[in-house]
A and B are shown apart, each in its own frame.
Chain A
Amino acid sequence: MMFVLPIVMLIVLVNAATQEMKSISLFVVDNDLSETSRELTGKFSGSPFFKISGNSFSVKKAESEILKDNADMILVIPHGFERNLVTGQNAAVQIQINAINGMVAGLINAYSSQIISGYNQNIIRNQVPGFKARGINITNSFWYNPGLNYKIYMVPGILVLLVTIVGMFLTAINIVREKEMGTIEQINVTPIQKYQFIIGKMIPFWVVAMIELSVGLTIGKIFYQIPIEGNLLILFSIAAIYLFVALGFGLFISTMANTQQQTMFLSFFFLVLFILMSGLFTPTESMPYWAQIVNYINPVAVFLKAIRMILLKGSGYADLIPQIVHLSIYAVAIISLAIFRYRKTAA
């Protein structure tokens, strides 16, 4: 179970949590019915992102389609669109986007603008004889993820999620279970040293999490063709340090909880907070300043950044020194705190 569930997660989440828009339902209101307007519509339907969900001459009808959730976006081409273009006046089209999900709406907007402005330049070139577009020519090249493949971005994130859950949650639950069973009392009455106990509790989960990371990377490579630009040794050494932080957190939680319910609650609190703030789904750079400050104590954010740097950019030791130092200090601090808080003698 410890291995099957994470793999399912890797397969399901990576495919589900995609932010690429594949099939935006476009409803077209073409009141011009000219060659130009049809060409523009054709640009949309020819794009892999859009599919035409319907046509009408009535904007009202189109709006009702949005209300019914049959369309994500309406393209309105007003009467006289072609004439205005040809005669050199301003020709306008209207785009209405369902913005219930702001992020999706932003994407739709960006895609549509791209199509329309591309089309616009074509027109200028074709329709004005002798005109040579000598304006600014923007060429985009996306580094490190040239195809803007969202999965390549997600897989490392899901891997981080996996090892964090294993590390933090299983360790915490394990110790609290001993509290519930009463075996911890038997341990506390032996001369075992606190650090021995803590290390004994950490090693098994550390090993399990490292194995899960390897399995996850293999799956990512085979199923998603994620690039492994950097050195795997660096990746695993940083993961090794990071796991001490995650495990330390688990131990810390276990010193605060007496029952498995309390442990679940506390672990969820930390896990959800860390994961949502880590930049797994939303970039940390667009978070408010205070949130970025809070992220200094978010080990998930640090490790996530490091693992993406290694896998996608091929960063080496020198580039990762800040992350390594950060995580090392964190590991020492949190484990010391856990050892300090673990009491063999109750008050």
Chain B
Amino acid sequence: MDQREKIISVKNLVKKFGDFEANKNLSFDVFKGEIFGFLGANGAGKTTAIKILCGLSSPTSGEISVAGFDAYHETEKIKKNIGYMSQKFSLYSDLTVKENIRFYGGIYGLSRDTIKRKTKDLLEKLNFSEHAGSLISSIPLGWKQKLAFSIAVFHEPKIVFLDEPTGGVDPITRRQFWDLIYETAHTGITVFVTTHYMDEAEYCNRVCIMVDGRIDALDTPENLKKQFGADNMDEVFVRLARAEKK
């Protein structure tokens, strides 16, 4: 058995919306410090699952623990230990870059001095210092996404959830975005990321492929490619999807 520390543990997670089963009996574990990819077509149930793990939505049944807390009764404790960035861009567009950082830093209870110091570091790291006073609505999408990610890990959570963070972003910015993700994972923060770009799956330590609300495969990208006799993750996915149709 794996000796690493489990940070997310999901057993038989089911989520129903009326008669529709969005998540059918999901079970998986995520280990501390890994980059865990959640793959699937649109509507496969990725976002539903991630919202349950973040405490935004209640599960119908199953045992779920995130950062050591129960997803039914301890959602507020979970929220203290995670960061979240959704496909819907979620910084305040009528506030400036700096104001957004200060606002979210404040919500997580960071002190004024810490926020000031970290804001400076962050803006320097992103080469963003000159735009500190710009309104979010005036900066390009790629930069917004990088900023949103940085704000999601600003309070140094144990886990960061990224729900299709690179949607609509050009390839170069996506590459830079993944550099940020790697850097974050190196600091010991677990990264849980959903995507439908198969090339991004190669960057993950382990990937979990969802089809129609079920987990069809879960392993390292290498093992999956071997298992399906494929050259890249795209092929793995196509084979899984075809098997589904038969």
Contact = CB atoms under 8 A, between A and B. Distances in A.
Interface of A: 181-183, 185-192, 344-347
Given A182-B90, A183-B92, A189 B58 contact: no
B58 A347 contact: yes
A191 B107 contact: yes
Given A191-B76, A344-B75, A345-B75, A186 B55 contact: no
A191 B108 CA distance: 7
Contacts of A185: 56, 86, 88, 90
Interface residues of B, number: 23
Interface stretch (B77-85, B170-178, B229-237): B77-85
A186 B86 contact: yes
A160 B90 CA distance: 36
B93 interface: yes
A76 to B, nearest CB: 68
A185 B109 CA distance: 19
Contacts of B76: 191, 344
Nearest to A193: B76
A285 to B, nearest CB: 47
Given A182-B89, A189-B82, 15 more contacts: A181-B90, A182-B88, A182-B90, A183-B91, A185-B90, A186-B91, A189-B79, A189-B84, A190-B79, A190-B108, A191-B108, A192-B107, A344-B75, A345-B57, A347-B57
Chain B interface SS verdict (over half): loop
B217 to A, nearest CB: 28
Given A344-B75, A345-B75, A189 B56 contact: yes
A309 B169 CA distance: 62
Contacts of B88: 182, 185
Interface of B: 51, 54-58, 75-76, 79-80, 82, 84, 86, 88-93, 104, 107-109
B56 A345 contact: yes
Contacts of A186: 84, 86, 90-91, 104
A191 B76 CA distance: 6
A190 B90 CA distance: 13
Contact of A190 (B86, B91, B92, B104): B104
Nearest to B55: A345
Contacts of A346: 51, 56-58
Contacts, number: 52
**Most chain B CB within a 10 A radius of its CB, from A186, A188, A344:** A186
A187 B84 CA distance: 10
A189 B92 contact: no
11 contacts: A181-B93, A182-B89, A185-B86, A186-B91, A189-B55, A190-B104, A191-B109, A192-B107, A344-B55, A345-B75, A347-B58
A183 B57 contact: no
A192 B76 CA distance: 8
B103 to A, nearest CB: 10
Contacts of B79: 189-191
Nearest to B72: A345
A182 B86 CA distance: 9
A190 B89 contact: no
Contacts of A347: 57-58
A344 B90 CA distance: 16
A344 B58 CA distance: 10
A181 B88 CA distance: 8
Nearest to A188: B56
Contacts of B93: 181
A78 to B, nearest CB: 74
A345 B55 CA distance: 6
A184 B54 CA distance: 14
A201 to B, nearest CB: 13
A183 B108 contact: no
Contacts of B51: 346
Contacts of B89: 182
B13 to A, nearest CB: 15
A29 to B, nearest CB: 68
Contacts of B75: 344-345
A172 B76 CA distance: 25
